[in-house]
Protein backbone atom coordinates (compact mmCIF):
# COMPACT_ATOMS: atom_id res chain seq x y z
CA UNK A 1 0.00 0.00 0.00
CA UNK A 2 1.28 3.45 -0.98
CA UNK A 3 -0.07 6.88 -0.15
CA UNK A 4 0.67 9.21 -3.04
CA UNK A 5 -0.55 12.48 -4.56
CA UNK A 6 -2.17 13.04 -7.95
CA UNK A 7 1.03 14.44 -9.42
CA UNK A 8 2.60 10.98 -8.97
CA UNK A 9 0.01 9.19 -11.11
CA UNK A 10 -1.15 9.55 -14.67
CA UNK A 11 -4.88 9.68 -15.29
CA UNK A 12 -5.89 7.76 -18.39
CA UNK A 13 -8.68 5.85 -20.08
CA UNK A 14 -8.70 2.09 -20.14
CA UNK A 15 -10.77 -0.99 -20.74
CA UNK A 16 -11.63 -3.89 -18.48
CA UNK A 17 -12.21 -7.12 -20.35
CA UNK A 18 -14.83 -9.63 -19.28
CA UNK A 19 -15.59 -12.90 -21.07
CA UNK A 20 -18.63 -11.43 -22.82
CA UNK A 21 -18.05 -7.67 -22.81
CA UNK A 22 -15.63 -4.76 -22.57
CA UNK A 23 -16.11 -1.97 -20.03
CA UNK A 24 -14.57 1.48 -20.53
CA UNK A 25 -13.10 2.80 -17.27
CA UNK A 26 -11.03 5.69 -15.94
CA UNK A 27 -7.72 4.47 -14.61
CA UNK A 28 -4.65 5.65 -12.74
CA UNK A 29 -1.18 4.59 -13.87
CA UNK A 30 1.50 4.40 -11.18
CA UNK A 31 4.92 2.91 -11.88
CA UNK A 32 3.58 1.26 -15.04
CA UNK A 33 0.84 -0.51 -13.05
CA UNK A 34 -2.86 0.10 -13.80
CA UNK A 35 -5.32 0.93 -11.03
CA UNK A 36 -9.04 1.61 -11.06
CA UNK A 37 -10.64 4.13 -8.70
CA UNK A 38 -12.60 2.69 -5.82
CA UNK A 39 -13.96 4.41 -2.72
CA UNK A 40 -13.35 8.05 -1.88
CA UNK A 41 -12.91 9.43 1.64
CA UNK A 42 -12.69 13.00 2.92
CA UNK A 43 -9.62 14.26 4.74
CA UNK A 44 -11.46 13.72 8.05
CA UNK A 45 -11.98 10.05 7.09
CA UNK A 46 -8.34 9.45 6.15
CA UNK A 47 -7.85 6.89 8.96
CA UNK A 48 -10.82 4.90 7.60
CA UNK A 49 -9.28 5.03 4.10
CA UNK A 50 -5.93 3.79 5.38
CA UNK A 51 -7.60 0.99 7.36
CA UNK A 52 -9.57 -0.07 4.25
CA UNK A 53 -6.41 -0.15 2.13
CA UNK A 54 -4.67 -2.23 4.83
CA UNK A 55 -7.60 -4.71 4.86
CA UNK A 56 -7.33 -4.93 1.07
CA UNK A 57 -3.61 -5.66 1.33
CA UNK A 58 -4.25 -8.44 3.86
CA UNK A 59 -6.84 -9.86 1.42
CA UNK A 60 -4.25 -9.82 -1.36
CA UNK A 61 -5.64 -6.78 -3.17
CA UNK A 62 -2.94 -4.29 -4.11
CA UNK A 63 -4.18 -0.78 -3.41
CA UNK A 64 -3.00 2.81 -3.66
CA UNK A 65 -4.31 5.75 -1.75
CA UNK A 66 -4.24 8.81 -3.97
CA UNK A 67 -4.69 12.16 -2.26
CA UNK A 68 -6.39 14.47 -4.75
CA UNK A 69 -6.23 18.26 -5.02
CA UNK A 70 -9.15 18.62 -2.57
CA UNK A 71 -7.47 16.43 0.09
CA UNK A 72 -9.82 13.53 -0.64
CA UNK A 73 -8.36 10.06 -0.18
CA UNK A 74 -9.13 7.83 -3.18
CA UNK A 75 -8.55 4.11 -2.83
CA UNK A 76 -7.43 2.70 -6.17
CA UNK A 77 -7.26 -1.04 -6.82
CA UNK A 78 -4.90 -2.91 -9.09
CA UNK A 79 -6.81 -5.00 -11.59
CA UNK A 80 -5.12 -7.48 -13.92
CA UNK A 81 -8.04 -7.19 -16.36
CA UNK A 82 -7.28 -3.52 -17.09
CA UNK A 83 -5.64 -2.37 -20.30
CA UNK A 84 -4.71 1.09 -21.45
CA UNK A 85 -7.05 2.36 -24.10
CA UNK A 86 -4.99 3.20 -27.19
CA UNK A 87 -5.12 6.87 -28.18
CA UNK A 88 -8.19 7.74 -30.20
CA UNK A 89 -9.51 4.21 -29.67
CA UNK A 90 -13.27 4.02 -29.35
CA UNK A 91 -15.79 1.48 -30.53
CA UNK A 92 -16.88 1.77 -34.14
CA UNK A 93 -19.74 4.12 -34.92
CA UNK A 94 -22.28 1.33 -35.35
CA UNK A 95 -21.53 0.12 -31.81
CA UNK A 96 -21.88 3.68 -30.50
CA UNK A 97 -25.18 4.16 -32.36
CA UNK A 98 -26.55 0.88 -30.97
CA UNK A 99 -25.52 1.88 -27.44
CA UNK A 100 -27.24 5.28 -27.82
CA UNK A 101 -30.40 3.79 -29.30
CA UNK A 102 -30.60 1.13 -26.58
CA UNK A 103 -30.28 3.65 -23.73
CA UNK A 104 -33.73 4.63 -22.51
CA UNK A 105 -34.35 8.34 -22.01
CA UNK A 106 -31.78 9.67 -24.47
CA UNK A 107 -34.02 9.59 -27.54
CA UNK A 108 -37.32 11.24 -26.72
CA UNK A 109 -39.91 13.74 -27.87
CA UNK A 110 -38.38 17.19 -27.35
CA UNK A 111 -40.07 20.55 -27.74
CA UNK A 112 -38.64 23.72 -29.22
CA UNK A 113 -40.59 26.86 -30.21
CA UNK A 114 -44.05 25.28 -29.99
CA UNK A 115 -42.99 22.24 -32.00
CA UNK A 116 -42.45 18.70 -30.86
CA UNK A 117 -39.56 16.81 -32.41
CA UNK A 118 -40.28 13.10 -31.93
CA UNK A 119 -37.40 10.70 -31.31
CA UNK A 120 -34.82 13.47 -31.08
CA UNK A 121 -31.71 13.93 -28.93
CA UNK A 122 -30.49 17.09 -27.21
CA UNK A 123 -26.83 17.75 -28.06
CA UNK A 124 -25.71 18.52 -24.50
CA UNK A 125 -27.43 15.39 -23.15
CA UNK A 126 -25.74 13.24 -25.78
CA UNK A 127 -22.35 14.76 -24.89
CA UNK A 128 -22.99 14.07 -21.18
CA UNK A 129 -23.96 10.48 -21.96
CA UNK A 130 -20.97 9.87 -24.25
CA UNK A 131 -18.60 11.24 -21.59
CA UNK A 132 -20.12 8.99 -18.91
CA UNK A 133 -20.46 5.89 -21.08
CA UNK A 134 -17.13 6.02 -22.90
CA UNK A 135 -15.14 7.97 -20.29
CA UNK A 136 -14.06 10.57 -22.80
CA UNK A 137 -13.67 14.34 -22.63
CA UNK A 138 -16.40 16.69 -23.81
CA UNK A 139 -14.24 17.59 -26.81
CA UNK A 140 -13.93 13.89 -27.73
CA UNK A 141 -17.70 13.48 -27.31
CA UNK A 142 -18.30 16.36 -29.74
CA UNK A 143 -15.90 14.68 -32.19
CA UNK A 144 -17.92 11.47 -31.88
CA UNK A 145 -21.15 13.42 -32.48
CA UNK A 146 -19.64 15.07 -35.53
CA UNK A 147 -18.47 11.68 -36.82
CA UNK A 148 -22.06 10.44 -36.49
CA UNK A 149 -23.14 13.39 -38.66
CA UNK A 150 -20.28 12.96 -41.15
CA UNK A 151 -21.13 9.28 -41.59
CA UNK A 152 -24.84 10.08 -41.98
CA UNK A 153 -26.09 8.34 -38.85
CA UNK A 154 -27.31 11.54 -37.20
CA UNK A 155 -28.24 15.08 -38.27
CA UNK A 156 -29.43 18.37 -36.82
CA UNK A 157 -33.23 18.37 -37.10
CA UNK A 158 -33.17 21.31 -39.54
CA UNK A 159 -29.69 20.50 -40.92
CA UNK A 160 -28.49 23.95 -39.82
CA UNK A 161 -25.63 22.93 -37.51
CA UNK A 162 -22.69 20.61 -37.13
CA UNK A 163 -22.67 18.66 -33.89
CA UNK A 164 -22.27 20.99 -30.90
CA UNK A 165 -22.25 20.71 -27.12
CA UNK A 166 -25.34 22.89 -27.03
CA UNK A 167 -29.08 22.29 -26.48
CA UNK A 168 -29.67 21.71 -30.19
CA UNK A 169 -31.86 18.87 -31.43
CA UNK A 170 -30.52 15.96 -33.47
CA UNK A 171 -32.18 12.86 -34.88
CA UNK A 172 -31.03 9.59 -36.38
CA UNK A 173 -31.77 9.34 -40.09
CA UNK A 174 -33.40 5.96 -39.59
CA UNK A 175 -36.04 7.70 -37.43
CA UNK A 176 -36.88 10.24 -40.15
CA UNK A 177 -39.09 7.84 -42.06
CA UNK A 178 -40.98 7.12 -38.86
CA UNK A 179 -41.60 10.67 -37.62
CA UNK A 180 -41.80 14.26 -38.73
CA UNK A 181 -41.91 17.40 -36.53
CA UNK A 182 -45.41 17.96 -35.21
CA UNK A 183 -47.06 21.18 -34.14
CA UNK A 184 -47.72 21.04 -30.39
CA UNK A 185 -51.29 21.54 -29.30
Residues of the chain with pLDDT > 70, as a percent, come to 90
pTM (2 d.p.): 0.51
User: From CA 147, how far away is CA 10, in angstroms rounded?
Assistant: 28
Cite the beta strand spans of the chain per DSSP E: 2-5, 10-17, 22-30, 33-41, 63-67, 73-78, 82-84, 108-112, 115-122, 154-156, 169-172, 182-183
Give the per-residue pLDDT at 89.
Answer: 57
**pLDDT band of 185, cuts 50, 70, 90:** very low
Give the per-residue pLDDT at 135.
Answer: 81
User: From CA 163, how far away is CA 145, in angstroms rounded?
Assistant: 6
**pLDDT band of 44, cuts 50, 70, 90:** very high
Give the per-residue pLDDT at 65.
Answer: 83
**pLDDT band of 47, cuts 50, 70, 90:** very high
User: From CA 146, how far away is CA 135, in angstroms rounded?
Assistant: 17
Structural domains of the chain, with CATH: 2-84 (3.30.200), 93-183 (1.10.10.10)
pLDDT in tens, 97-147: 999 999 889 999 999 999 999 999 999 999 999 998 888 888 889 989 998
pLDDT in tens, 32-43: 888 888 888 998
Amino acid sequence: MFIITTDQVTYNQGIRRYPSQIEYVSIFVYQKQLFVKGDSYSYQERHTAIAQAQRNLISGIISLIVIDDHDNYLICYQDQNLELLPEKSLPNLETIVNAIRNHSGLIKNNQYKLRTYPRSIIGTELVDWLCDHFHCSREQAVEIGQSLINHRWLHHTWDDHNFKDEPLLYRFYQDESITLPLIAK
